Structure 1
Amino acid sequence: MERLVAKEVDVRKWKDDGFSPKSELLFIEYLKISKVCKVSDNGDNGYEVTEGADRHIVNLREKKCTCRTWDLTGIPCPHAIKAMEHKKMIPMKDIHWYYSKEASLAVYKHKLQLACW
């Protein structure tokens, strides 16, 4: 019970509309990698993004990239970030809600209520 309370206190220290510190660090790393990528249009919401010798297809409508990082983690990969910046979008808005402060607080609130039974 004390551990849950301590975790909730830690979560409350996150930025108001922020995400978990680990997810924000990962996003920042992806942002740095995206700076060396090159992007070209491939249709309405499709983009071809090259990172060195690698080439990936990003579909912003479906929130998918052929590298599958975005699909698996819920955090936009460097290729998706580059495509979003090309389209004048804000990539941080596409981090999955699961990593938000609101989601984490909801989890701890629910667990605390169960622990009281």
Structure 2
Amino acid sequence: MPHVIVEYTDNLAARSDIQDLLTKIRQVLENRSDTYPVGGIRVRAHEVSCYTIADGKENDAFVHTQFKIGKGRSEEVKQATCEAIFDVMKTHFEDLYQESYLALSLELEEFQHPTFKQNNIHGRFK
């Protein structure tokens, strides 16, 4: 693990390269492979087609990112990683943010209980 889940409104699909965003987020984590094992990285996106934002009168958009990790990392490491991911998001959507209404958000979820997993991908990176 980590898992990153990006939810974005469908009115962004034609105006932004979401796959490129996912690649940039993966690179943030891959560059911290001493903290986040490469074989456990999962970055994905879900396009949201049913939503309402603010007063519903504009063509508003949002991108909400969930960053999910297991316990055990320091507050400094978690803060630095979240800042790096959010910087990627802000840079990626900079032009759209200037020309339209857009809300960006990122939340960190640290699992408090053990997770069940089986993953042979890690073996490629040892």
Q: Which has the higher strand share?
A: 2
- Larger RCO of the pair (alpha carbons < 8 Å, separation 6+): 2
More helix by share: 1
TM-score under structure 1 length normalisation: 0.26
Find the structure with the greater CA-based Rg: 1
TM-score by length of 2: 0.25
